[in-house]
Chain A
Amino acid sequence: MLDRTFYAEDRLMAQQPKKKSKSKLWFLVHSWLALPIWFFVLIVCFTGMLAVVSQEIVWLANPDVRASKPDDAGERLSFQQVYEAMQKAEPDTSVRFISQPDGSHFALQASVTRADGTSALLYVNPYTGAIQGQRPDFDFEAFTRALHGWWLVPFTNGYSWGWYLVSLLGLPMLASLVTGLVVYKKFWRGFFKPVRTGHGSRIFWGDVHRLAGVWSIWFIAVISITGTWFLIQAILGDNHVTISTEPIVPVIAREQVPQTADGSPAPRIDLDEAARIATQTIPGLDVTFISLPATAYSHMSMGGRGWYPLMYQTAEVNPYTRNVDSQFLLSDRSTLEFVTESMRPLHTGDFGGLAIKLIWFFFGLVLTLMVLSGLLIWTKRTAHATAAALKRAERPARAKPARETTLEAQP
């Protein structure tokens, strides 16, 4: 069933008779890698492309998400100032977490729980502390990521099987890259080959596929390798194997939480003080997010990117003793963790601001087009091959019409 008809672009192969059969085999493998699941691959590429810029799409669509600077505004507020402004505006609302998304054009995000037990993510102006709005029930960012990442299949026991389904695609994608390069003779000369028009759509799409392919070599490699990592991550996770050196932070010892004579809560340091202590103790720590203690025995957790922008550093400050009880810095990471923790940002492109995201978005679009053009080539070729086969079946007595550009593969 693997017989397919080959066309002119493979003349190069035909000129190398020794390697011919091997190339043909690789060509077949290449053709068949994505084909039976082309639509799935297409949607995963397309939603991945959207997910990369989902935050920016929301920024464009929803003014609440923007960090608009009022004319009379001065500096950006500190975490504690923002917290106080929010408490003033909504006294019954408990703030759990405040973060500054990557990019100063984004409003602060604050996770809160309201008195009625509902929780929300609020968009807060970093200059005024004003609550600009809250994340709508349909969360475009989360939805595209869930669709792309696990096909919306819920996580019930360990990783969702949708996660496996999607991350498994890393393997055929990697194989597509390798076989594509093997089949495309002297691909390094293909970077500036013009796309031929006027020779029919199959030639056109073939040229587009090859041109897009050579420019995307690095991107396909990055996406397929990191995608395969997600598969490995799920396998490790579901088998309870961990390679993390991140310390498990114990709760604050009972003795360190003061008793109060009148039964009122023990005083805790404020957010700015906690951030100040952490940045003073840990040189180079950038605090872009901070979470309030989730229990009376919990720390104030905070962190931000380190000098290596693909990884975060975090610190846990004891709000009673003012001590940095735990930290997880770049220098604490093992070499293996530098590799594995880099995988996710490399996949999503969210480690260098808008510019990197736009590059990832563009090549995501190119990759989506590669799937489409690959399919178009295949259907054209198949349509021809089927027509030819039908013709032969109808007139079995007649000799096979020899097409000068056609080779018949007989694996």
Chain B
Amino acid sequence: MSQAHTLPQGGFKQWWLKWRFHLNILLILIPLGFMPKYFADASLFRGDSGLGANVVQGLQVGRWTLDLAELRDEAPRADGPAGDFKAFNAALCNTCAEGVKAIYLRIGKPRSLRAAGSIFFGPPSRMGTNLPIPPRTRPDADIWVTIEGWDGKMYQASVPLAKASPATAAWLEKQGGNK
């Protein structure tokens, strides 16, 4: 047990015994390594990096034109028992938010406004929503944008999910409807 008996004469061993507890300085590499990601995320949330990934530009919904993008080019994120979610952003063209009461996103065509999907939060120039992705969704499904006008009418358009979020389609493909 005693160091006196086991202490080796070798230079490296001695160095090791003296300096091993300073090795934790290397833990500083963790925040240093994540720093670019930290600043990239900050820029993403500020909107400085654009609307998101795989932007679907100029989607015509009724008389409005909308851009749709997934926040990140990645598979849905699990949120415990609530299921898997995919964050999408949307923006209406600068001067054309007039008459829009609410915008919704849903996988599959909504039959009524009451089931239009998840509502987009935020000002028209950058809105966001968290779309639930049931694991049994078909990878070739469409996602539907529904605009509810202040006039009470409903306007719709769709995009293939595989176009709006290739990573989600790939993830669904992998799930294979097994879950």
Q: Is B177 an interface residue (CB 8 A)?
A: no
Given contacts A3-B1, A117-B125, A410-B2, contact A39 B28 (CB under 8 A): yes
Q: Which B residues touch A39, using CB under 8 A?
A: 22, 24-25, 27-28
- Min Cβ gap A247→B in Å is 18
The reply to whether A157 and B77 form a contact with Cβ atoms under 8 Å apart is yes
Q: How far is the CA of A119 from the CA of B123 in the complex (A)?
A: 10
Among the stretches B43-51, B135-143, B165-173, the one at the interface with A is B43-51
Question: Residue A202 at the B interface, CB < 8 A?
Answer: no
Q: Which residues from B are CB-within-8-Å of A114? A: 125
Contact yes or no, B119 A151, CB < 8 A: no
Contact of A296 with B by CB under 8 A: yes
> B150: which A residues are within 8 A, CB to CB?
259-260, 263-266
CA distance A297 to B2 in the complex (A): 72
Query: Which residues of the other chain, A, contact B25 by a CB distance below 8 angstroms?
Result: 39
Instruction: Return the CB mask of B97-134 against A: 1 if under 8 Å, else 0.
Output: 00101100000000000100001111111100000000
Contacts of A120 in B (CB 8 A): 46
Asked whether, in the complex, the Cβ of B34 is within 8 Å of the Cβ of A152, the reply is yes
**Interface flags, A110-150, vs B, CB<8A=1, else 0:** 00011111111000000000000000010100110011000
Q: How far is the CA of A211 from the CA of B161 in the complex (A)?
A: 64
Q: Please judge, given known A-B contacts A35-B21, A265-B150, A297-B102, whether A152 and B125 are in contact too, CB under 8 Å.
A: no
Task: Answer yes or no: A182 CB below 8 A from chain B CBs.
Answer: no
B91 contacts chain A at the CB level, 8 A cutoff: yes
B31 adjacent to A117 (CB under 8 Å): no
Taken together as a complex, chains A and B put the C-alpha atoms of A408 and B2 apart, in Å, by: 10
Q: Does B37 lie within 8 Å of A154, measured CB to CB?
A: yes
Q: Which of B3, B9, B51, B121 contacts A295 (CB 8 A)?
A: B121
Contact of A117 among B91, B120, B152 (CB under 8 A): B91
Contact between B34 and A94, CB atoms less than 8 A apart = no
A259-B50 Cα distance, complex, nearest whole Å: 34
A283 to B176, CA, bound (A): 56
Chain B contributes a number of interface residues (CB within 8 A of A) equal to 52
A residues less than 8 Å from B114 (CB atoms): 254
Known contacts A35-B21, A40-B24; A3/B2 CB under 8 A: yes
Is A115 a contact partner of B94 (Cβ separation < 8 A)? yes
Tally A-B pairs: CB < 8 A.
134
A39 to chain B, nearest CB (A): 5
Contact of A36 among B24, B78, B94, B151 (CB under 8 A): B24
How many whole Å from A265's CB to the nearest CB in chain B?
Answer: 6
A33 at the interface (CB under 8 A from B): no
Q: Are B47 and A119 in contact (CB under 8 A)?
A: yes
Please encode chain A, from 38 to 68, with 1 for each CB lying within 8 Å of some chain B CB and 0 for all others: 1110010000000000000000000000000
The interface stretch among A319-327, A331-339, A382-390 is: A382-390
Q: Does A162 contact B (CB under 8 A)?
A: yes
Type the 1/0 row for A15-47, where 1 means its CB is closer than 8 Å to any CB of B.
000000000000000000001111110010000
Instruction: Decide: A296 and B101 in contact? CB cutoff 8 A.
Output: yes
- CB pair A139–B42 under 8 Å, yes or no, is yes
In the assembled complex, which residues on chain A have CB atoms less than 8 Å from the CB atom of B77? 156-157
Within 8 A of B (CB), among A179-232: none
Residue A1 CB within 8 A of the other chain: yes
Shortest CB–CB separation between residue B152 and chain A, in angstroms? Answer: 5
- The answer, yes or no, to whether A153 is at the interface (CB within 8 Å) is yes
A368 CB to nearest chain B CB (Å): 16
Which residues of chain A are near B99, meaning CB under 8 Å?
Answer: 263-264
CA–CA, A94 and B91, complex, Å: 13
- In contact, B46 and A118 (Cβ under 8 angstroms): yes
> How far is B3's CA from A2's CA once the two chains are assembled, in angstroms?
9
B102 to A152, Cβ gap below 8 A? Answer: no
A/B interface sample: 11 pairs, CB < 8 A: A115-B125, A117-B47, A137-B46, A146-B38, A152-B31, A152-B38, A265-B101, A295-B102, A386-B3, A389-B7, A392-B4
Q: What 13 new A-B contacts, CB under 8 Å, besides A39-B25, A113-B122, A259-B151?
A: A92-B94, A119-B45, A154-B38, A154-B41, A162-B31, A260-B151, A263-B150, A264-B150, A294-B121, A297-B119, A390-B7, A392-B4, A408-B2
Q: What residues of chain A have their CB less than 8 Å away from a CB belonging to chain B?
A: 1-3, 35-40, 43, 92, 94, 96, 113-120, 137, 139, 142-143, 146-147, 151-154, 156-157, 162, 165, 240, 251, 254, 257, 259-260, 263-266, 294-298, 382, 385-386, 389-390, 392-393, 408, 410-411
In the A-B complex, list the 6 residue pairs whose CB atoms are closest, starting with the nearest.
A94-B123, A240-B80, A118-B47, A263-B151, A152-B31, A152-B34
